[in-house]
Structure 1
Amino acid sequence: MSDVGNQSCLSTAENYTSFLVCVLHAWEEWAGLGKAEDYLSVMEYLLWVFTPLAVVFILPFLIVILLYLSILFLHVYKRKNQLKEAYCNNLWDGARKTLATLWDGHGAIWHGYEIHGMEKIPDEGAALIVYYHGAIPIDYYYFLANVILQKGRTCHSVADHFVFKIPGLKPLLEVFSVMHGPQEECVRALRSGHLLGISPGGVREALFSDETYPLIWGTRRGFAQVAIDARVPIIPMFTQNVREGFRSLGTLKFFRWLYERFRLPVAPVYGGFPVKFRTYLGDPIPYDPSINAVELADKVQQALQSLIEQHQRIPGNVLRALLERFHTKHRDE
């Protein structure tokens, strides 16, 4: 083929322009550029098809990056304020407020975050906040930021054991008073007058709940016993569209089996959609010495379920949640 091409080019050598065109075509044929164009077309098509899929799995990692940037800030802050540490009992106050402002800004810009019922959080004294756990509890981070900025308080939190095994996360957990969650430690924090946030569903609810927003608490009643022992009110909390912001593949049987068998919370999370987030705080459930932990837990579960039914359209829908960014009124019906 190339010999024929060369002879053809030589036969047209008298016409300089035709000769150059002929040589160019012969070179393209020799280099296989015609096939390359086909390959590029295929690659362009695959890129067009899979880019949205890649984006929805990459966006959750941006939250992880933001967490580690927060940790980096804490390290820099500590270095810069080492001399003040000996003279100041509240070294981390400035850092907490700075990070709270960062996370509050992220919530306002990316999710149009709103919180309704903040007046139900006491300005002083203890209370137990019980919340629904999304695939990523980013709404809870925004809530913590608002408690710091609006109430001037730090809300202690209970997290699963695996969180404390994540490399580099320790400074952030310590500064924001995150604990493993033994009942004695929780009662101690509440008796000291602190706010405490806990999700009875925990990792199981994060992985296995879905757009129908079921509460997956099983037989967990420890949080209720903590409230009884500490004699504090319980405030239910739910964030509208939290499942539309981030979703988990934990509903697939393989990931469910993996967690139940090895306690590995490795179900992929996708999303990061800029849907509307509204956090609703229910009426406080006061301490009542006449009821036991089982009765109190059922009462709290009913209160949280009521918040979900009142403020969340079920099943959740990502497109609808995105359009709610443009609505000025929140759903009260």
Structure 2
Amino acid sequence: MLSKSESHTSWQESMISSTWLTYILEEWTGVAYHCLYYISLILCVLHLILFAPNLIFIIFTCFLNLLLHIYKRKNGLDEDFSNKSWDNGRFMVASILSMCGKLWHGYELHGMEKIPEGPGLIVYYHGALPIDYSYFICNLYIQTGRLCYSVVDHVFSKLPGIQLYLNLLPGVHGGRDESVEILKKGNLLSVAPGGAREALFSDENYNLLWGNRKGFAQVAIDAKVPIIPLFTQNIREGCGTLGKIGFFRWFYERSRLPLIPVYGGFPVKLCTYVGDPIPYDPNITATELVEKTKIAIEKLRDRHQKLPGSILRALLERFDKHQKED
């Protein structure tokens, strides 16, 4: 325990040190202390706004997960998500997300009539924060009552506080055999072949970063289902990453941890476009099907996205009444 005199001395030294630091800052910048205080406060707020979208997204997802737990307990439900009693809870979550998309991003979905009534593999471009995909599956469910299974990274399967949300939408991460089985049962399944690499290291030119991945194409061939291309306008202007900085790329390639800072959360206009399905062809190889899918998504991109992307233009498009629909 410090004595009263020692505490007083420590406080005096702290004040002297603080006064000295303030004096140095004032001399160096030519700005009074109270101005520096407000400048620092503004910078802190800007930092939170720019670099907190991932955290906000996770917190919001946890909130939805909490609502589902309340719904589950209130209705005495078990983990059988095929039970019709879960439909109201699923509709509640879909409605909340859909409303957020409409209010914050003026979200629109075009070409939903192109999605076949039977099974199909939806392939989409992966933005830094795939909030557009969440809007898509929620709007799909609200308008048609159809669920779309989502292939998600194993990282998400380990995150606490969102498991009920993932199971209800639902998210899967069991590999190729599970994916084929889901499609053979007549369901829709979606995948972003670019995954975390595309999310973190693609840029305003919307390059597809698929590497040599062709497992999704083999799944479509094995399940004998069409591929439906999907692209969202301005998704990279809503949120961006610091993936261009060499250290972050080096860190990801060695750890495979998607811990690259994400910034943004800007209320840009988001429009998701569904492309023409690529029908099942028993004579096509997985490599050829990958190439056809790439071309289909790039055509959607080139038709609906001005390149390179611009945050200012994407914000102004919220007020553009002449958006292209197809």
- Once the two structures are superposed, what CA deviation does each residue of 1:138-184 show, in whole Å capped at 9, x if it has no partner? 00000010111011011000011111111122111111121114110
Question: Is contact 1:183–1:222 with CA below 8 Å preserved after alignment?
Answer: yes
The residue aligned with 1:132 is 125
Shift of 1:91: 2.6
Alignment partner, residue 117 of structure 1 = 111
Give the Å deviation of 1:68: 0.7
CA deviations 1:177-203 (Å, max 9, x no partner) are 211141100000000010001000011
Point out where structure 2 has 5 or more consecutive residues left out of the alignment: 1-18
Task: Return the alpha-carbon distance in structure 2 between the equivalents of residues 83 and 51 of structure 1.
Answer: 42
Quick one: which amino acid aligns to residue 111 of structure 2?
G
Q: Which residue does the alignment assign to 2:13?
A: none
Q: Which runs of 5+ in 1 are unaligned?
A: 1-31
Whole-Å Cα distance in 2 between the matches of residues 63 and 120 of structure 1?
30
TM-score, normalised with respect to structure 1 = 0.85
What CA distance in whole angstroms lies between the structure 1 residues aligned with 2:33 and 2:165?
48
2:153 maps to 160
CA RMSD of aligned residues (A): 2.1
> Would the alpha carbon gap of residues 85 and 53 (structure 1) be closer, same or farther in structure 2, given more than 3 Å must change?
closer
Q: Give yes or no for the alignment of 1:180 onto 2:173.
A: yes
* Alignment equivalent of 1:41, drawn from 32, 35, 59: 35
1:249: how far off?
1.0
Which residue is 1:219 aligned to? 212
The whole-number CA distance in structure 1 between the counterparts of 2:241 and 2:62 is 22
Secondary structure of 1:279's aligned partner: strand
| Aligned residues of 1:127 and 1:234 also touching (Cα < 8 A) | yes
Count of matched residue positions in the alignment of Structure 1 and Structure 2: 299
TM-score by length of 2: 0.87
C-alpha distance in structure 2 between counterparts of 1:211 and 1:56, whole Å: 17
1:62 aligns with 2:56: yes
Q: Which has the higher contact order (CA 8 A, sep 6+)?
A: 2
CA distance in 1, matches of 2:264, 2:35: 28
State the match for 1:145 in structure 2: 138
- Judged with a 3 Å threshold, the aligned counterparts in structure 2 of structure 1 residues 258 and 79 are, in CA distance, closer, same or farther, namely same
Map of 1:1-333 to 2, 5 A cutoff? 38-82=32-76, 89-122=83-116, 124-331=117-324
Distance of aligned partners of 1:118 and 1:271 in 2 relative to their CA distance in 1, 3 Å threshold: same
Distance 1:228 1:249 in 2: 36
Percent identity reads 52
